[in-house]
A = this chain, B = another copy of it.
Amino acid sequence: MRIGVLTSGGDCPGLNAVIRGAVLKGTKIHNQSFIGIRDGWKGVVEGLTMPLDRHTVRGLGKQGGTILGTSRTNPFEGPHGGPENVQATLDRIGVDALIAIGGEGTLAAAKRLTDAGLKIVGVPKTIDNDLDATDYSFGFDTAVEIATEAIDRVRTTAESHKRCMVVEVMGRHVGWIALHAGMAAGAHAILIPEQPQSMEQICDWVQQVSDRGRAPIVVVAEGFTLNTMETAHSEKGLDAFNRPRLGGIADMLAPEIEARTGVESRATVLGHLQRGGVPSAYDRVLSTRLGMAAIDSIMREEWGTMVALRGTEVVNVPFEDAVGRLKTVPEDRYEEASILFG
């Protein structure tokens, strides 16, 4: 059997370790061969491949990014998309089964393709940790670690200048990175999409900390929104909120906090720093295990499932249980973290 491997969507620390885990177990234990599909579903649709064997994956465990490249192409779009075309392309490039490593969109596409008879096993990839069917996804731990170290760093500047620091982390729809990094770094407020807050509440937290003579640290997920149509009491503030965003939410919050509380405030947007570079040991182990489990699932012909972490075990979950549901931060976890606020 020849197994194709693809990585799709935004890159994530641990992708290469998944690939390596699958290839090493597949070649050494199951005697299968592999082929790399380049640039995600685009490679499937267009038949872009690269060699993928034991030598290709040497030393990949600690390398960030993905050697296969990635894209946001949808395999159902375009003249060569759809199940029949994809199957034809896979036949042409000699792929018997596919390991698709990607996020919600990739898994949803994989589900539709397996429903149409294609042989696909999935590996969940979401740096935001927003897939419901797995306890944790790889890349998340690294992102939290990077964000935590960054907050640790800006804190010393904040304290020296008695400033409020607003640090923006990833999390378009869910606040897991903000929650964990904020708890780890001892933030005085954590703002996440699941829990809209008013400027009054945010400024109250900031003011409490400032009144104790300390420098307030606010961690905000990029997808956070204020819970009411706020009117800023300063021209500057208003302007920031009405203007189309060039920066992120932190760039808007910081001047507004300063205008309302009088506490000098600065924004830091971590952005791409959180996705790149050497994965944490936790993510390397998890990725390697998921990759190995993926090739095992191929051998067991568990088409239409993805591998997932449950407790300390790696299990298989049907695609339908994984897609269409966002794993949001539950109320009690936010309350737990909010004990540190203010």
Least CB distance from A271 to B in Å reads 5
Contact of A148 among B25, B158, B281 (CB under 8 A): B281
Chain A, interface size category, equals 35 or more
What is the total number of copies of this protein in its complex? 4
* Partner-binding segment picked from A73-81, A222-230, A282-290: A282-290
The interface bits of chain A over 122-162 (1 if a CB of B lies within 8 angstroms of the residue's CB, else 0) are: 00000000000001100001001111111011111111111
Interface of A is mostly: helix
Least CB distance from A293 to B in Å reads 9
Whether A146 contacts B153 in the complex (CB less than 8 A), given A185-B61, A243-B246, A281-B180, comes out as yes
Contact of A185 among B62, B146, B152 (CB under 8 A): B62
A102 close to chain B: CB less than 8 A: no
Given contacts A153-B273, A157-B275, A180-B281, could you give 6 more A-B pairs where the C-beta distance is less than 8 Å?
A: A24-B340, A61-B185, A70-B161, A144-B282, A145-B280, A154-B273
Residues in chain A within 8 A of chain B (CB atoms): 7, 10-11, 13, 15, 24-25, 28-29, 59, 61-66, 69-70, 135-136, 141, 144-150, 152-162, 165, 180-181, 183-186, 240, 243, 246-247, 251, 266-269, 271-273, 275-277, 280-282, 284-285, 288-289, 292, 310-312, 336, 339-340
